[in-house]
Structure 1
Amino acid sequence: MKIVYKVLAYLVAVEVAVQAAVMVYGDAGLGKWVAQGGVLDKTVMESEASPFPEVIGLIAHGINGMMVIPVIALLLLISSFFARVPGAVKAAGLVLLLVAVQVTLGLFGHDIPALGALHGLNALLLFSTALYAARRDRSVGVPAQAEPRLGTTG
């Protein structure tokens, strides 16, 4: 169960990196589309047509952030109870809390754009916390090796 815990924690960190990548991909595509004369208004946003190819990045960001990452974070918390890793429950709980904050900031950021800055900062905090959670037990997946001690011969 230690390996499951570790994999899920690293997966949260990877998903946060994916979130950044797909969001910037979508934003860059939007910028290019507008520079070529495209207009983003309510009609375009409510239509089911794809105005530019990179819009898939914006869609992926929404689906990944609203569904995939919260499920992984919840599975991480559940696995932390069985992993027998010191501090795992606390670290996984913090990851889940930061995911909840991230989703909330993302949702309210549409009405209060200044929350977008907090959304970005919280993403960095979530990424770091997920890595911290993954590295709680350094012995998982690492074979034991004898380390030389200072002052000993041999």
Structure 2
Amino acid sequence: MRMAYRVVAYLIAAAVVVQAAAIAFALFGLAKWVSDGATANESRLEHATFTGHSGFDIHAVNGQMIIPVLAILLLIFAFFAHVRRGVLWGGLILLLVVVQVLLGYVSFLVPGLGALHAINALAIFVLAVVAARADAVPRQSSTPAMPSGADRTSA
């Protein structure tokens, strides 16, 4: 179960990278399309076939369905994997994913919140990597440490 927890955490981090790549692809494609003389409005964009148009779809499906499902799975696995602080990381990631989806919708009404959407995405990425590596950190050994001034060789 620990391996499943770790894999899902890394999948969340990878999905955030896909999110960034997809939206960049979409926006640069849209910018080129407009600079080539096209006009952009909501009805035109629904039927447009500019380079990068699929980036919007990838960003939407990944962000509204795939990442939330992965975040729920991570939290479920955390209860059984017994990873140090695993439930904490899983819960925080799920909370940030919920906030991320809400920011995605609200940013269309208040575009300035789009910056928080990007910052929150970075937080999700970092926490997902921390969660994946939580069990990789060596635990303190119960063996007493040798004094720093002690001779390590036997004469």
Same fold (TM over 0.5): yes
Q: CA RMSD in A?
A: 1.8
Query: Which residue is 2:126 aligned to?
Result: 128
| Number of residue pairs the alignment of both structures matches | 144
Q: Deviations over 1:24-69 (max 9, x none)?
A: 0010000000000111113213x4x233131000111011000000
Quick one: structure 1 residues 107 and 153, their matched pair in 2 at CA, closer, same or farther if it must change by over 3 Å? farther
Quick one: structure 1 residues 153 and 94, their matched pair in 2 at CA, closer, same or farther if it must change by over 3 Å? farther
Whichever residue aligns with residue 22 of structure 1, its letter is A
1:27 lines up with 2:18 in the alignment: no
Residue pair 1:105, 1:118 contacting (<8 A) in 2 also: yes
CA distance in structure 2 between the aligned counterparts of 1:152 and 1:56, rounded to whole angstroms: 63
Aligned to 1:138, what secondary structure does the other structure show?
A: coil
Aligned to 2:130, what secondary structure does the other structure show?
A: helix
Whichever residue aligns with residue 126 of structure 1, its letter is I
Q: Deviations over 1:99-125 (max 9, x none)?
A: 001000001111110110000000111
CA distance in structure 1 between the aligned counterparts of 2:19 and 2:42, rounded to whole angstroms: 24
Alignment map for 1:6-85 (pairs within 5 Å): 6-45=6-45, 47=46, 49-85=47-83
After TM superposition, which residue ranges in structure 1, 4 or more long, deviate above 6 angstroms?
Answer: none
Query: Which residue is 1:115 aligned to?
Result: 113
Query: Which residue is 2:101 aligned to?
Result: 103
**Percent sequence identity over aligned pairs:** 44
TM-score computed with the length of structure 1 as normaliser: 0.88
Listed as ranges, the gaps of 5+ residues in structure 2 are 139-145
Residue pair 2:33, 2:51 contacting (<8 A) in 1 also: no
Whichever residue aligns with residue 102 of structure 1, its letter is Q
Quick one: structure 1 residues 153 and 134, their matched pair in 2 at CA, closer, same or farther if it must change by over 3 Å? farther
Residue pair 1:44, 1:51 contacting (<8 A) in 2 also: no
CA distance in structure 1 between the aligned counterparts of 2:93 and 2:67, rounded to whole angstroms: 10
Computing the radius of gyration from Cα coordinates, the structure with the larger value is: 2
